[in-house]
């Protein structure tokens, strides 16, 4: 047996899907990156003898078995009742190899010609893999698969002849072969930073009003998954200081029980004085770190990071607040693709061209709510004449509206309401 040989078994659809870099290629890349030698039946010349025996021999000559399984069962072994892919799995089980199984997630849209018209056989195989008590992961993209395979390999225990510090290297994996200790790969590898599950800032104390907006978003969450399978995105827009971030965070706190897997907040700094807006690539680096991706293995390009992010968020009941977005292009790469996620974006600009987004435009609070908020913040004003309080609050709203004309990032669309008519108010507002 050669040390560090990994048998990569796969169904035929995975050799051509996705287009560009296939899932099989991604798994082979991960094996190579882990410093091991991939072994795959595809690379062998036609075998004149018994193909099933040869297959068993090749699998048994390796130290680790990796399966990448999609939705085709594949060609049957002559004279047997199983496909070659399942035969390889049986051979790995019989040889006592650590078996790492990666199933294409059911939410991924495969072209019809890559799936079995009669799915019973492949479904049965997938079920047997799930029930075999192995480490099974699902994946939705080649980048996600590569990372999963790499981490699974990196986490396997090795003997003293391996290289414990510098990644898996070409170490010997014999210890885990018969002991079943490969269950350790369910724990994150040592190099993976701790993931962040909840990063919402605290809710605003004494949050006031916004009942209609809260009702709208809560109703959309109730309907989630019943629409067209798209991720729920709400864009809270309005002038500076009107309460966009406070509303997004308040809603996030109210709905957090619906999104138990993860609640993340990221400030994209579109309008932070003295600071450039955070580029989507940088934001993705932070988000991927939050879901446990080691910075050393981040894809370099924006597209690869977006793919990996969507892969990691697939099926997660997660809530994401993207605060202070500059434009639709700023947030589009950060959107998960899973309809189990809720995304709340805040922006001073109108993001009308963000596909599938529901706009939630905010104006200043209505007078009664604004006065209630003011009195909560300044309780001693409760003894002042009611008219004076009303005028003060009205003036604050006017000031907020009209000062926003002077701030960068504001467009006429963010200036609801007329210019104050009273000359005294105009003077004070400016
Ligand atoms: N509904 C509310 N109830 C109580 N306080 C609020 C409410 N809305 C906003 N505030 C408070 O008003 C201040 C400004 O709100 P916020 O920061 O949310 O504005 P914003 O629209 O996000 O501004 P910017 O465009 O500068 O990001 C904050 O101190 C916030 O806590
Ligand atoms: Mg804000």
Range of the domain at 380: 367-429
pLDDT value at position 405?
A: 59
The DSSP secondary-structure symbol of 338 reads -
Q: Is the pLDDT of residue 411 over 80?
A: no
Give, for ligand 1, the residue of 209, 241, 397 to mutate: max count of ligand atoms closer than 8 Å to Cβ. 241
d(CA 49, CA 33): 33
Beta bridge partners of 64: 6
Domain membership of residue 205 (yes or no) is no
- Which ligand sits nearest to residue 236's alpha carbon? 1
pLDDT over 70 for what percent of the chain?
78
Q: What is the DSSP string of 280-336?
A: HHHHHHHHHHHTT--GGG--SSHHHHHHHHHHHHTT--EEEEEES---HHHHGGG--
Please identify, by atom number, the ligand 1 atom nearest to the C-alpha of residue 409.
Answer: 25
Domain membership of residue 291 (yes or no) is yes
Where does a domain end: 334, 361, 388?
A: 361
d(CA 176, CA 30): 20
User: For residue 218, how far is its CA from the centre of ligand 2 (angstroms)?
Assistant: 21
Q: Is the pLDDT of residue 186 over 60?
A: no
Q: In what order do the strands lie in the sheet with 37-39?
A: 37-39, 5-10, 64-69, 99-104, 135-139
Question: Which tens digit of pLDDT belongs to each residue from 55-109?
Answer: 888 898 899 999 999 999 988 888 889 999 999 999 999 988 899 999 999 889 8
Q: How does residue 51 score in pLDDT terms, banded at 50, 70 and 90?
A: confident
Pick from 179, 238, 183: which is nearest to 365 by CA? 238
32-41, 181-190, 247-256: which has the minimum mean pLDDT? 181-190
Q: Is the pLDDT of residue 46 over 80?
A: no
- Which ligand sits nearest to residue 244's alpha carbon? 1
Into how many domains does the chain fold?
Answer: 3
Same domain, 222 and 173: no
In terms of pLDDT, which residue wins out, 79 or 189?
79
CA 295, 296, 300, 305 torsion-angle sign: negative
Same domain, 130 and 89: yes
Domain membership of residue 262 (yes or no) is yes
Same domain, 352 and 404: no
Residue entry with tokens 């003898």: 49
Same domain, 355 and 383: no
Q: Which residues surround ligand 2, an ion (CB under 5 A)?
A: 244-245
Paired sense of beta strands 64-69 and 232-237, if any: unpaired
In terms of pLDDT, which residue wins out, 359 or 394?
359
User: For residue 176, how far is its CA from the centre of ligand 1 (angstroms)?
Assistant: 56
Domain membership of residue 16 (yes or no) is yes
pTM: 0.60
Same domain, 242 and 270: yes
Indicate which residue's Cα is closest to atom 30 of ligand 1.
246
User: For residue 244, how far is its CA from the centre of ligand 2 (angstroms)?
Assistant: 5
**CATH number of the structural domain spanning residue 179:** 3.40.50.10140
- Which ligand sits nearest to residue 369's alpha carbon? 1
pLDDT average, residue stretch 382-394: 77
Pick from 245, 224, 226: which is nearest to 236 by CA? 245
Is-contact 336 288, C-beta < 8 A?
no
Question: Which tens digit of pLDDT belongs to each residue from 325-367?
Answer: 999 999 999 999 888 899 999 999 989 889 889 999 998 888 8
Indicate which residue's Cα is closest to atom 25 of ligand 1.
240
Indicate which residue's Cα is closest to atom 16 of ligand 1.
243
**Six-digit token string for 300:** 């370099």
Domain membership of residue 154 (yes or no) is yes
Domain membership of residue 107 (yes or no) is yes
d(CA 139, CA 106): 9
Give, for ligand 1, the residue of 200, 204, 206, 208 to mutate: max count of ligand atoms closer than 8 Å to Cβ. 204
pLDDT value at position 252?
A: 94
DSSP run (H or E) holding 36: none
Exposed / middle / buried, residue 125 (Cβ in 10 Å: 0-12, 13-18, 19+) = buried
Same domain, 40 and 118: yes
Where does a domain end: 324, 342, 361?
A: 361
Rounded to 10 deg, the angle between the 280-290 and 302-313 helix axes is 30
Indicate which residue's Cα is closest to atom 11 of ligand 1.
243
pLDDT value at position 429?
A: 43
Domain membership of residue 197 (yes or no) is no
Please identify, by atom number, the ligand 1 atom nearest to the C-alpha of residue 365.
Answer: 1
Pocket of ligand 1 (CB under 6 A): 204, 206-210, 238, 240-246, 324, 346, 348, 373
User: For residue 277, how far is its CA from the centre of ligand 1 (angstroms)?
Assistant: 20
- Which ligand sits nearest to residue 242's alpha carbon? 1
**CATH number of the structural domain spanning residue 328:** 3.40.50.300
In terms of pLDDT, which residue wins out, 264 or 418?
264
Exposed / middle / buried, residue 366 (Cβ in 10 Å: 0-12, 13-18, 19+) = exposed
Same domain, 59 and 129: yes
In terms of pLDDT, which residue wins out, 149 or 384?
149
Exposed / middle / buried, residue 332 (Cβ in 10 Å: 0-12, 13-18, 19+) = middle
Same domain, 44 and 178: yes
Is-contact 204 246, C-beta < 8 A?
yes
Same domain, 80 and 21: yes
Q: How does residue 230 score in pLDDT terms, banded at 50, 70 and 90?
A: low
In terms of pLDDT, which residue wins out, 163 or 107?
107
Where does a domain end: 186, 220, 247?
A: 186
| Whole-Å CA distances, 48 to 53, 54, 58, 430 | 11, 10, 15, 89
Question: Which tens digit of pLDDT belongs to each residue from 293-335?
Answer: 877 778 888 998 998 899 888 888 899 999 999 999 999 999 9
User: For residue 204, how far is its CA from the centre of ligand 1 (angstroms)?
Assistant: 8
- Which ligand sits nearest to residue 241's alpha carbon? 1
Domain membership of residue 180 (yes or no) is yes
Is-contact 91 126, C-beta < 8 A?
no
Q: How does residue 3 score in pLDDT terms, banded at 50, 70 and 90?
A: low
CA atoms within 13 A on the CB side of 139: 29
DSSP run (H or E) holding 54: helix 51-60
Same domain, 256 and 386: no
Same domain, 256 and 328: yes
Rounded to the nearest integer, the mean pLDDT of the chain is 80
Same domain, 384 and 357: no
User: For residue 414, how far is its CA from the centre of ligand 2 (angstroms)?
Assistant: 14
């Amino acid at each position: 047996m050669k040390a560090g040989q990994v048998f990569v078994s796969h169904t035929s659809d995975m050799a051509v899907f996705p287009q560009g870099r296939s899932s099989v290629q991604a798994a082979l890349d991960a094996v190579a990156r882990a410093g091991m030698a991939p072994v795959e039946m595809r690379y062998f010349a036609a075998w004149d003898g018994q193909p099933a025996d040869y297959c068993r021999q090749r699998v048994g000559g390796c130290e680790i078995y990796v399966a990448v399984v999609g939705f085709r069962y594949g060609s049957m072994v002559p004279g047997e009742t199983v496909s070659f892919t399942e035969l390889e799995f049986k051979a790995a089980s019989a040889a006592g190899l650590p078996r790492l199984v990666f199933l294409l997630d059911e939410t991924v849209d495969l072209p019809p010609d890559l799936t079995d018209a009669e799915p019973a056989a492949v479904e049965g195989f997938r079920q047997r893999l799930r029930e075999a008590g192995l480490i099974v992961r699902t994946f939705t993209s080649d980048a996600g698969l590569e990372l999963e395979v790499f981490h699974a390999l990196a986490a396997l225990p090795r003997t003293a002849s391996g290289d414990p510090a510098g990644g898996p290297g070409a170490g010997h994996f014999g210890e885990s072969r018969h002991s079943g200790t490969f269950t350790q790969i369910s724990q994150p590898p040592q190099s993976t930073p701790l993931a962040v599950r909840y990063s919402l800032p605290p809710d605003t104390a004494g949050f006031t009003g916004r009942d209609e907006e809260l009702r709208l978003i809560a109703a959309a969450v109730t309907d989630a998954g019943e629409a067209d399978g798209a991720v729920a995105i709400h864009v809270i827009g309005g002038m500076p200081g009107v309460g966009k971030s406070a509303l997004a965070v308040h809603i996030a706190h109210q709905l957090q029980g619906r999104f138990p897997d993860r609640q993340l907040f990221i400030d994209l700094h579109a309008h932070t004085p003295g600071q450039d807006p955070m580029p989507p690539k940088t934001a993705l680096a932070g988000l991927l770190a939050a879901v446990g991706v080691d910075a050393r293995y981040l894809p370099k390009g924006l597209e690869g990071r977006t793919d990996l992010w969507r892969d990691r968020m697939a099926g997660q009941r997660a809530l994401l607040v993207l605060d202070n977005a500059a434009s639709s292009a700023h947030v589009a790469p950060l959107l998960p693709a899973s309809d189990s996620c809720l995304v709340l974006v805040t922006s001073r600009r109108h993001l009308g061209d963000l596909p599938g987004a529901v706009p939630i435009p905010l104006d200043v609070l209505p007078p009664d709510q604004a006065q209630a908020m003011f009195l909560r913040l300044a309780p001693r004003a409760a003894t002042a004449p009611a008219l004076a309080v009303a005028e003060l609050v009205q003036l604050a709203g006017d000031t907020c509206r009209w000062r926003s004309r002077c701030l960068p990032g504001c467009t006429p669309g963010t200036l609801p309401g007329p210019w104050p008519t009273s000359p005294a108010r105009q003077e004070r507002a400016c």
